[in-house]
Structure 1
Amino acid sequence: MDSENRNISDIENMANSISYFILLGLPSNQEIQMVYFVVFAMTYMLTLIGNAAIVCAVRWDRHLHIPMYILLGNFSLLEICYVTTTVPNMLANFLSETKTITFVACFVQFYFFFSFGCDEGFFLCIMAFDRYLAICRPLHYPTIMTTQLCTGLVAFGWSCGLIVLLIPVGLISQLSYCGPNIIDHFICDPVPLMALSCSKSQTTKIIYSTFNTVFVVGTFIFILVSYALVILSVLQIPSAAGKSKAFSTCASHLAVVILFFGSVMTMYVLPGSEQPVEFQKVVTLIYSVITPLFNPLIYSLRNKDMKAALKKVLVIIKNPQKT
């Protein structure tokens, strides 16, 4: 009898399983939605232009063909992929009355957005490691940070997030979704997705929370330790000019680290039940839209080599026949 009841329940869940979600986004009247559309469309375009300029500068300027700038170029390309997973859909929803996203598209967005987010964390770790070697082990840097190692680290940074996210995405996608299908967010975030599931799996929540904590705290501690060692080494530099140059380079990296990890920790490491929905949306906007916009500004404004390379890119764009 119990077996029959379970079979009936499974059939009912399959019959009631939803095929799409509704992303509420940033609820407001139509006029405000248009304002949101214009603001975020401009932000998206500036993000693409800024990060693409860094990619082109690293690609075209042979003086930047060193590990630090190769990693920065890949990080900027990653930022372009990162914002493109969510912002275009968010812009479309500002103009849409239904604001729907299919089940498959929702989980595809979830997978790539958080995979690229993980890749950002790994790249920030790699960049911190590169600065540690350059400043703390300057004599051994050329023999350690070889072309082969740099290429391997870049491949690791791009692929690791895409691999490790398969587990949480797979677990959450296998939960039963039989209604309601309204997500009070502008992206397919795993927390509201799990809240909508009719099969409340505590194991999935524990695995997901553990994954977030280990990844965010682990990468953040690695970066802090790396820069603590860097700062200790910089303080021992006798030249004031040398100290200033080292601190200037590290300050750009630390600014990005604080922007990214500060908002991510607030969202995914602190208890989610204590955070109002609107607060979660604001924090998500910071690490998914605002931070990728500021990254090229932070790196270019504090780096003379990058500013010189960006000027060359502008010259090439204005006068392509001279290239």
Structure 2
Amino acid sequence: MERLMETRNETMVLEFVLEGFHVAQHLGKLLFLVHLLVYLASYMLIITITCQDQRLQTPMYFFLSSFSFVECCFITTVIPQLLAIFLSGRQRISFVACFTQAFVFLFLGATVFFLLAVLSLDRYLAICKPLHYPTIMSPRMCFFLVAVCLVLGFLFMAVPVAMLSQSFYCGPNVIPHFFCDFGPLANLSCSETRSIEMLFFNLALIVLFATLFIAIFAYSNIVVTIVRLPSARERQKAFSTCSSHLIVLSLMFGSCVFIYVKPKQSSRLDTNREAALVNTVVTPLLNPVIYTLRNKQVHQALRDALSRVILHR
């Protein structure tokens, strides 16, 4: 039964119901186990190895571990809710918890894109400006850039979510999604939300295309520099380092442009649900694998860590 409160002869929604995935209910326990194991293994592995191995104490791995930590927090806003839906079907969530989840999700999601831009600039400086790289990417600068990414992510997403939370919700309260996202919440509002949706649309455009422009600038210069390298082995090594970054960029930008870069957030909500699953679960869980799969330094650090564990036994 919907919990509603009578307020000035109107009804106000006190909680929402997350619909989840009807077609996946019969696979709920299997999906729960798979997502839980991959979730626990993916990020803990790369963060732990990066922090413990001295060979990985470089700006690139600092940004990579920061990216992995923020992305781990990002999917943590969604995964527990998704796992609960897999086990028990629809889930109820309070009004305050729903908007808190929406804000944290969007704040960390924007931060992830700013960090991707920083990773691109880091690779640009390392390959195109190798002599100046150690001076520019000092430990203080690395911490500063990560802090700027967090602040920008907060500032960009706080206003539209706060404005949407002040809208009036009079029912229905069923969200056709597996978490509280901006589009479904705007669609359920009984108030006029066009101006809020346009603000969110413009901010999403700025975040996505500003970071995409930085990535294109960085990697176009990287490609030019790599092509000019005299040694085929050097070219192969440079391309190998950057290829994993480009794969992650393609997956992240592609799914987010499809979901968020449209003026009317209420359109194609059913299609967005499947795209959001890729953006919020599949891609983030693949990212640590993509980043480490082609990296020999990480492979060696992992082998050394496993050797230490076996020896201690």
What does 1:45-124 correspond to in 2, within 5 Å?
A: 45-96=37-88, 98-124=90-116
Structure 2 residue aligned with 1:11, among 8, 12, 17? 8
Q: Is the 8 A contact 1:56 1:313 kept in 2?
A: no
> Which is further off, 143-152 or 159-168?
159-168
Q: Is the 8 A contact 2:292 2:299 kept in 1?
A: yes
What does 1:129-148 correspond to in 2, within 5 Å?
A: 129-148=121-140
> How far apart are the structure 1 equivalents of 2:40 and 2:67?
13
Q: Is the 8 A contact 1:116 1:161 kept in 2?
A: yes
Q: Is the 8 A contact 1:47 1:292 kept in 2?
A: no
Is residue 2:244 matched to residue 1:252? yes
* Structure 1 residue 123: Cα displacement: 0.7
Is residue 2:17 matched to residue 1:22? yes
> How far apart are the structure 2 equivalents of 1:98 and 1:242?
53
* Structure 1 residue 278: Cα displacement: 3.0
Structure 2 residue aligned with 1:262, among 240, 249, 254? 254
**Cα distance change of structure 1 residues 168 and 316 upon mapping to structure 2, 3 Å threshold:** farther
**Partner of residue 208, structure 1:** 200
* Structure 1 residue 244: Cα displacement: 0.7
> Which is further off, 308-317 or 179-188?
308-317
What does 1:221-300 correspond to in 2, within 5 Å?
A: 221-270=213-262, 276-300=268-292
User: CA offsets per residue over residues 63-93 of structure 1, 9 Å max, x none?
Assistant: 1100001111111112211111011111112
Task: Look up the equivalent residue of 1:161 and give its one-letter code.
Answer: G
Structure 2 residue aligned with 1:306, among 293, 298, 306? 298
> How far apart are the structure 2 equivalents of 1:162 and 1:257?
21
* Structure 1 residue 36: Cα displacement: 3.3
Q: Is the 8 A contact 1:216 1:265 kept in 2?
A: yes
* Structure 1 residue 166: Cα displacement: 1.1
* Structure 1 residue 300: Cα displacement: 1.2
SS in 2 for 1:198: coil
**Partner of residue 197, structure 1:** 189
> How far apart are the structure 2 equivalents of 1:51 and 1:87?
13
List alignment gaps of at least 5 residues for structure 2. 1-5
User: CA offsets per residue over residues 95-145 of structure 1, 9 Å max, x none?
Assistant: 335521110110111011111111110110000000010011011111111
Q: Is the 8 A contact 2:110 2:153 kept in 1?
A: yes
Task: Look up the equivalent residue of 1:62 and give its one-letter code.
Answer: Q
Q: Is the 8 A contact 1:34 1:95 kept in 2?
A: no
Task: Look up the equivalent residue of 2:117 and give its one-letter code.
Answer: C
* Structure 1 residue 38: Cα displacement: 2.1
* Structure 1 residue 40: Cα displacement: 4.2
> How far apart are the structure 1 equivalents of 2:39 and 2:259?
22
Q: Is the 8 A contact 1:53 1:313 kept in 2?
A: no
SS in 1 for 2:230: coil
Q: How many residues align?
A: 308
* Structure 1 residue 159: Cα displacement: 3.5
List alignment gaps of at least 5 residues for structure 1. 1-8
Q: Is the 8 A contact 1:234 1:243 kept in 2?
A: yes
TM-score (norm: length of structure 2):
0.92
Identical residues among aligned pairs (%): 37
